Amino acid sequence: MTKGKPGTSSWLSFPRQNPQATLRLFCFPYAGGNSLMFRTWPDYLPQHVEVCAVQLPGRGARLNEPAFTQLPALVRAAAHALLPFMDKPFAFFGHSMGAMIGFELARHLREDNRPQPQHLFVSGRSAPQVIDSSPHTYDLPEPEFIEELHRLNGTPREVLEHEELMRLVIPILRTDFAFCQTYSYLPGLPLTCPISVYGGLRDEGVPRESLEGWREQTRAAFILRMFPGDHFFIHSDQQLLLRTLSQELSLHARVFG
């Protein structure tokens, strides 16, 4: 018998509560993103899945809370906050920064003898052991930093052109970029859950060969799927991505349905 959803948490937003779900999908946002980016996902995913959008400190409804600047501290806090919601089978999805968080959280749960995700979906992020030789951008002077945001094509134009909004957004993005660009991978045993990797064919910063490296991080099945867009194919190719994700999640219904 499946347990019901326990309590509430500032760490989670439920776009559509689904007490009958047999699988929870914890979704981690990219740098500068928040839980709202997953608000429509339940419309496209299988009925047995409950979307649990993770809201990180320092953004969205938690804007007044200090953002984490180091991954280990964030992972420990997230594990503590999300553990009560891991009372039924679950999976992780993360894009870019979110993929890194989901991966390290899965490793932390294993080391702590806690429940493990049934599946890890990583999107728009090179394998953790791949050395990134590109220069850091989090500490660029503001004009160059804004130019980098234009190049990445992930910040809405209406935000980039709004001076007051940019004053709010830039510190968050700098913190998140630093968070990602100073990440240091520590070798460890591969995970036991399957890993599905999603990439963008026009994502120059995350080429296919750097995505292939995720194969080393699992003892189970590995799938790599490429989408037409750039780094933010999660938006430009959203329907295709969600259709693909839905097909993969439907396989879990045969086990947990």
Q: pLDDT digits over 10-51, tens only?
A: 999 999 999 899 999 999 999 888 899 999 999 999 999 999
Q: pLDDT digits over 144-163, tens only?
A: 988 888 887 777 777 777 77
Phi-psi region of 124 (alpha: psi -120 to 50; beta: other; left: phi over 0): left
Q: What mean pLDDT do residues 204-216 have?
A: 95
Residue 136, pLDDT score: 83
Contact 82, 56 (CB under 8 A): no
What residues does each domain of the chain span? 12-130+190-256
Residue owning tokens 């347990």: 3
Residue owning tokens 């779900």: 21
Q: Which helix (H) or strand (E) holds 163?
A: helix 163-181
According to the CATH classification, is domain 12-130+190-256 in 3.40.50.1820?
yes
Query: Distance (Å, rounded) from C-alpha 46 to C-alpha 255?
Result: 14
Phi-psi region of 133 (alpha: psi -120 to 50; beta: other; left: phi over 0): alpha
Kindly tell me if the per-residue pLDDT of 1 is higher than 50: no
Kindly tell me if the per-residue pLDDT of 4 is higher than 50: no
Among 29-38, 129-138, 159-168, 220-229, the range of highest mean pLDDT:
220-229
Q: Is 96 a residue of the active site? A: yes
Kindly tell me if the per-residue pLDDT of 86 is higher than 80: yes
- Classified as helix, coil or strand, 121 is strand
Residue 162, pLDDT score: 75
Residue 255, pLDDT score: 53
- Classified as helix, coil or strand, 147 is helix
Residue 132, pLDDT score: 78
- Classified as helix, coil or strand, 183 is coil
Kindly tell me if the per-residue pLDDT of 253 is higher than 70: no
Q: How confident is the model at residue 3 (pLDDT cuts 50, 70, 90)?
A: very low
Q: Select which of 9, 10, 13, 96 is catalytic.
A: 96
In terms of DSSP bridges, do strands 195-200 and 23-28 run parallel, antiparallel, or are they unpaired? unpaired
- 212's tokens: 């292939």
Share above pLDDT 90 across residues of the chain, in percent, rounded to a whole number: 62
Cα dihedral: 60, 61, 66, 69 (round 10): -40
pTM attached to this predicted model: 0.90
